[in-house]
Structure 1
């Protein structure tokens, strides 16, 4: 006997077990899975593959040109179908920018419960994705769709970069300054939205930052003083910063007073709102994050914040101190304000594994 799904088609988040980049497989589980995959072909033209947990693959076509290839997709992080499409597209294109590249072409990846969601709702998701690509000057040239239990949308994206401008997780150096391009707290806002406690101002903040393209990445890639770059997404600030540290054998010190945080996120934190992904993230890498310098009553709040999954989060840049002005100027040109200086990197002491310390 066929049953009718009674979930509200106007509440897309009700159709998903999680939302946005909070749906990512936890870092520890992902590492275990990838460890079982046999070594694969890595021709010399493959400049960036899986070795450094980078945001995209890079393949050299000639001495002055390389392809950047990536894919990203997820379940709804918001209820508005159009906004979901824009956010998902913006997030997927970010991986090209994070390598120092310029996105050119995208293919849509679409999974929808076709007999449960109205076609008009699905069409709005597709419209939003197209609008996100259009804002980036990217050709949305096709895609693939399947019938799924949960709504899924994202992109496979292709861009280009000069091989000398590629920025990976592995290039950071001792003494580098850390600069973050967007404030933290998006995961908290999405959790509040799903619980029905996010107000209009909170939603406006969430939409503003998740639809802001990380287009500064292309200019940052051309700066020789930028040594490494990634974007902060599902593993939270601590997780993606730890990937930078592990790839380069460094220790990061982050100044909590300098961290940009969305205003409404603090109130949500104190109400005990958090995503399930935050806990999974901490379980995966918390032993490499030092919170001991913080007052004991504050440690749980900061732990939740720095592990909060950031859907379409900001670029995280490691640059030489004398390149900081140029980095800030690139952010200001691309998104209307400079990035936030949040800390620095230093060599890990002998016998000490790479780590992140919040002070």
Structure 2
């Protein structure tokens, strides 16, 4: 659970719920039940705000086919909301971050840039169109992507959230002895995020992510220095990052697009060397 990242309470509930449900989808599971987790400043905010947040979360749970079975709430000085989610998956179908194989292609199912645009929102510099676009993107479930993924022999998967694309990809690479080449021109990034990042509107989390994983990342000569910053941008309710064999990748991508996960892209490949490095080209 986390503090509000959008001003509208109902949409905040939707985004927080979608974010919480995403972990189950990333592991190849199907979410079934959830419990609300609430921290609310009763002395500073009207209770009607909490009602709207819970209504937004419940609507997203209903969309996902998830039953709300209870919750925990405490009075706190800062508003926070999220879910504790339980899902089902066959033991032999559990997906993890650690199964990448040489030659695998990497597919990303949502564009990047939510952290940058949320920073612009906090600074009152984001356009109305950008706010609406990023809010709907964050509130979108990874359910359809997961349902398509379930029909394919996936090697590894994670959801892209607070560590950014490069941070979560680094987790997939560490311990495998393999490397990754990313085709940066193929990576979907919200155009507003590129614009705002150019103004210096990068969240603090992007710099923390970069500091922690910078040693694993190598940039091709002449690469725009803004690109790695955007790839370290911490995401809220980001897409799935999927590793699949080369011969299956085009089929998976086609089915994702057919299902409506229209911004999915093949963004890179797994290589045998350099050892546990991510190359940006």
TM-score (norm 1): 0.75
- What's the secondary structure of 1:172's corresponding residue? coil
Q: 1:339 aligns with which of 257, 264, 270?
A: 264
| CA–CA distance in structure 2, aligned partners of residues 146 and 222 of structure 1 | 41
Contact 1:178 1:343 in 2 (8 A): yes
Closer, same or farther: CA 111–193 of 1 in aligned 2, 3 Å: same
| CA–CA distance in structure 2, aligned partners of residues 314 and 94 of structure 1 | 8
Matching of residues 75-224 of structure 1 within 5 Å? 75-215=3-143, 216-224=145-153
| CA–CA distance in structure 1, aligned partners of residues 277 and 58 of structure 2 | 39
Give the structure 2 partner of residue 315 of structure 1: 240
| CA–CA distance in structure 2, aligned partners of residues 321 and 113 of structure 1 | 51
- What's the secondary structure of 1:228's corresponding residue? strand
Give the structure 1 partner of residue 252 of structure 2: 327
- What's the secondary structure of 1:260's corresponding residue? coil
Contact 1:187 1:275 in 2 (8 A): yes
| CA–CA distance in structure 1, aligned partners of residues 147 and 176 of structure 2 | 22
Give the structure 1 partner of residue 216 of structure 2: 288
RMSD in angstroms over aligned alpha carbons?
A: 1.4
Question: Is 1:232 the equivalent of 2:151?
Answer: no
Deviation of residue 348 (structure 1)? Answer: 3.5
Q: Deviations over 1:117-159 (max 9, x none)?
A: 1111111111111111111111111110011121111111111
Contact 1:100 1:222 in 2 (8 A): no
Deviation of residue 294 (structure 1)? Answer: 4.1
Matching of residues 242-253 of structure 1 within 5 Å? 242-253=170-181
Q: Deviations over 1:30-68 (max 9, x none)?
A: xxxxxxxxxxxxxxxxxxxxxxxxxxxxxxxxxxxxxxx
- Structure 2 portions without partners, runs of 5+: none
TM-score (norm 2): 0.96
Deviation of residue 339 (structure 1)? Answer: 1.6
- What's the secondary structure of 1:92's corresponding residue? helix
Higher relative contact order (CA 8 A, sep 6+): 2
Closer, same or farther: CA 196–338 of 1 in aligned 2, 3 Å: closer
Deviation of residue 338 (structure 1)? Answer: 5.8
- Structure 1 portions without partners, runs of 5+: 1-72
Closer, same or farther: CA 327–319 of 1 in aligned 2, 3 Å: same
| CA–CA distance in structure 1, aligned partners of residues 109 and 229 of structure 2 | 20
Q: Which 4+ residue blocks in structure 1 deviate beyond 3 angstroms?
A: 333-336
Contact 1:177 1:320 in 2 (8 A): yes
Q: Which has the larger radius of gyration?
A: 1
Deviation of residue 222 (structure 1)? Answer: 4.1
Deviation of residue 337 (structure 1)? Answer: 1.8
Deviation of residue 249 (structure 1)? Answer: 2.4
| CA–CA distance in structure 2, aligned partners of residues 74 and 329 of structure 1 | 34
- What's the secondary structure of 1:171's corresponding residue? coil
